[in-house]
Chains A and B, each alone.
Chain A
């Protein structure tokens, strides 16, 4: 009598059963690869799938990652899947919650695009696999001598727990059709804003770009910048930060929207420039500005420049969580990302336009030529135009500045 309903309910069971079997559960434990023995790493990596958690807000970068994935699949039999994040910290959170649940093997995250605070937090909480990075074959090309930040991530030694992937340096940009003279220091920026109130802003800290702007100002204003290389709690932090707060006291009322609202991130600041809401904006890569022009996001009269006393620069990396399911595959992928071929394509603004971590003089002659012949794009700065690269402060300064900023300016109502 109830056969109809029985069929109904068993259909329900089938539906869930099918759902359960169509995709398998977490992968099996992956033994730590022996990075010293490269052939064994390659053997272990073959057939693995690397879930690479990387910020996914930029289609060109996503395309580059897809290209890199195809390359390692063809060459080493490693599958790569990009998990597109809105925020790198989401991946850190995930590894943490896996540790909470006791998942010390077979974790969801195989590789993270990371640097700065996120790296420092993962290193401190022992959430990373390694050391592995400095034993990979292509690390030999990395410019450890010329670019010290490739092994010191915001002053924190990488200890081989992450492999350098790209260089970044703060550069400012503006529309040459609208502006002739641009401010080239913190002080000039303030003077310029007095004459042009409301025509500049920065993303709201703790957004990464916003905090970077504050650190840039801090580095310029502080009497002895070397203090910033030490952890903040080992110094007289209040005294060090005083010039920054003094400066912001004057700057804040002159900002766009009187400092009552902020763009959310670097990208929305770019939108403000495109809409003629502000005159000057900044980014971590001048190549990004060229690509934004290509993508019709900015007028083609926009150009980049740097402050005369230098701007902050750093390196971004890839790291492998301690509980990754495909550590060998991730190591192989990371090694490929450091290869001259992959770095060349990465620097080409046609594909991405991000600076290489490699040392030109360590490369074979043909690769040196290939790098020298790259067309960097109309709004990109050539290495000779970049001025001094200032070192990033210790991550503790960033947290401190963000907390203090939030107290002083995060609540205006």
Chain B
């Protein structure tokens, strides 16, 4: 039974992605029977390449995605190297983990309300300088997409940080740090020379997922990226929702192009990895100690703090907007406060939270069960080859959503499964399971195999070893993975809307619909609401082990991050 689970899991991941891609590739080459087109042609591609500003759109997706990823990785690595094992490091750990529960769009709106020419920061300046009008400069929607990069970096740092944290214990970092320090290396240099080579392979997949996401992001880009022209993914969405149904062909070829951009960005990234690792080998051996790294350490802490601070301040602005009366520029606070909109939305809030859980809980449960079964199967069969195959589970994270979601909708309709809870849960599972796998596989592999071996020697069955030894030891990791999964399902917009035919009004679909009305108060309310469930999930992941193991200090230690 158990050995079929990995195959089942892979089918559940790869099936929808492939079906969706087929549904995108066919119209990209002119085939869409509903519009009476059944002969292949290259017209959609010609139409696409005739689009004004296509090159700029591609550049914005490709270059900005790479830059955002590089900056995020650099800050996380620099911060970990500079501060690992210190009080600041643990403090940051506590700040960044909850930030992970902030959905991308919420963080982007918060950032926009903060840095826009009419935002909080400029209001402070305006108070001092006596401005009555916001400056007419493009801080957000800027031509170079710097606001977009900032928004992505602020949100990806917590994710990469958490992924790095789960990789650290396996690299035996504390003793490595002692050795490099004894040899006279500076903190940062010692870490980069001795620890990074062991950490990076562990976080490589999350990094590539971040890269794929950053090069194809839609929601953050709509809020922060330039619009003349916009990054490719945003334009695809525009073409797909154009009343001229003929544009669907061109939109499909653009979606295929988007996939190629992601692949190209990954190729560039991987080439960069090779170059850095080759150069790094010489650097590691050259013996320079770089003892004086205080300034760099300060910089690392500052950058991490700014990133975290921007998200937190952004959330505070959202909160203030959600209860604001009229709020003129350059007032620092609204002229009045009102809970009117919160009260008005109360009913809708309740039902959308329920719907979100109705989809999210089954998706997370199934994902956790599948992932645990896959990992357990790996331990029992001891097959390393299986591990390679399991990398395919990450496919949904690497293929841009917009490249296969529309095709997937048609596929579910063909099966007659569209609009059912089952299909929406399956659609979510495609994105939840990889993240659960991502957060759970490292702790699972890091678990000392001697616990299991001892139990087996004492005559316990493999099943009993799993249920009574491994699972309890992994309680905290499983709950954290489930919380990550919950955060992922809560954030899904396109899959919920497209596969659910709008029948499932979750906090995110409501938030996006109301955001189109542009009232910052509503954006504030729903932006914060989107956080509630993920936040509760992460809180429970901390609380449950603390309560369960309150009389077992050893378990507490085993279950540490």
Contacts and interface: CB of A to CB of B under 8 A. Distances in A.
B467 A4 contact: yes
A25 interface: yes
Given A257-B136, A260-B138, A267 B505 contact: no
B518 A9 contact: no
Interface string A1-40: 1111110110110011011101111100000000000000
A270 B240 contact: no
B518 A268 contact: yes
B206 interface: no
Interface in B502-539: 502-503, 505, 509-510, 512-522
A238 interface: no
B416 A85 contact: no
Interface in A161-211: 198, 204, 206
A50 B476 CA distance: 45
B91 interface: no
Interface stretch (A100-108, A225-233, A371-379): A100-108
A399 B416 CA distance: 35
Contact of A16 (B5, B366, B416): B366
B275 to A, nearest CB: 30
Q: Which residue among B1, B241, B462, B510 has the maximum number of chain A CB atoms within 10 Å of its CB? A: B241
A78 B523 CA distance: 32
A58 interface: yes
A96 B35 contact: yes
Interface size class of B (residues with CB under 8 A): 35 or more
Given A59-B522, A89-B243, A260-B143, A276 B502 contact: no
Contacts of A59: 341, 344-345, 514, 517, 519, 522
B460 to A, nearest CB: 11
B242 interface: yes
Interface in A41-59: 51, 53, 55-59
A413 B324 contact: no
A228 to B, nearest CB: 18
Nearest to A119: B243
A116 B341 CA distance: 32
Interface string B368-409: 011011001000000000000000000000000000001001
A277 B126 CA distance: 13
A132 interface: no
Interface string A345-387: 0000000000000000000000000000000000000000000
A197 to B, nearest CB: 9
A84 B509 contact: yes
Interface string B215-229: 000000010001111
Nearest to A292: B519
A95 to B, nearest CB: 10
A120 B243 contact: yes
Interface stretch (A139-147, A293-301, A313-321, A336-344): A293-301
A267 B244 contact: no
A277 B136 contact: yes
A179 to B, nearest CB: 13
B338 interface: yes
A364 B222 CA distance: 49
Contacts of B362: 15-16, 18-19
Interface in B319-361: 324-329, 334, 336, 338, 341, 344-345
A344 to B, nearest CB: 22
B515 A4 contact: no
Given A16-B422, A93-B240, A409-B228, A57 B517 contact: yes
B425 A19 contact: yes
30 contacts: A2-B1, A9-B1, A12-B370, A16-B366, A16-B422, A24-B420, A25-B420, A59-B344, A59-B345, A89-B242, A92-B243, A99-B34, A100-B32, A100-B34, A121-B244, A204-B228, A257-B137, A261-B141, A264-B518, A266-B518, A267-B519, A274-B328, A276-B134, A296-B338, A297-B521, A410-B52, A410-B229, A411-B56, A412-B228, A413-B53
Interface of B: 1-2, 5, 32-35, 52-53, 56, 117-118, 132-134, 136-138, 141-143, 222, 226-229, 238, 240-245, 248, 324-329, 334, 336, 338, 341, 344-345, 362, 365-366, 369-370, 372-373, 376, 406, 409-410, 413-414, 416-422, 425, 461-464, 466-467, 497, 501-503, 505, 509-510, 512-522
Given A20-B422, A206-B238, 9 more contacts: A5-B463, A59-B522, A84-B510, A98-B413, A108-B502, A274-B326, A409-B228, A411-B52, A413-B53
